[in-house]
Amino acid sequence: MTSLTKILGANSKTRQFRKAEFLGRKALFTDLRLARETVPNGIAAYDLREGDGPEYNEYGEPLPPSLSIAPSVIVNHFGTILVAGRFESVEHEERALDENDWGFGSIEVSLAEGISWLKNRVPFGAGD
């Protein structure tokens, strides 16, 4: 854990989260850095990094934002996600995400509501 996350991280217990899906798993998203010591046991936190600027296709149309996921991000922090368990493929290095690797729902929940949702067996869906 970086000292910056300890100093500047928000308390996860006092935040609202958006339901989301990353790498095929349900997740809770916040655009804030979270202090890792406030994340409950059994829940893993990962930071998201946004690319340096807008990217465009060959027709000049904007592409979806370039995102990557890592255990901790300092520069270009886009947000933090919480998941039940860990992503083994991300545990020690950053991983690029393509547009099919993530999605956001529209519902905001508290940490307690979100953890209950993460642990139930109902998959992420349109109602989220």
Residue 88 gets the label, from left (phi > 0), alpha (psi -120 to 50) or beta, of alpha
- 95-97: strand order across its sheet: 95-97, 67-70, 43-50, 77-84, 25-30, 16-22, 102-110
How much is the pTM?
A: 0.83
Parse the chain into domains and list their residue ranges.
3-119
**How crowded is the C-beta side of 90, counted as CA atoms within 13 Å?**
22
Greater model confidence, 112 or 4: 112
What is the tens place of the pLDDT at every residue in 67-108?
899 999 988 999 999 999 999 888 888 888 988 899 999 899
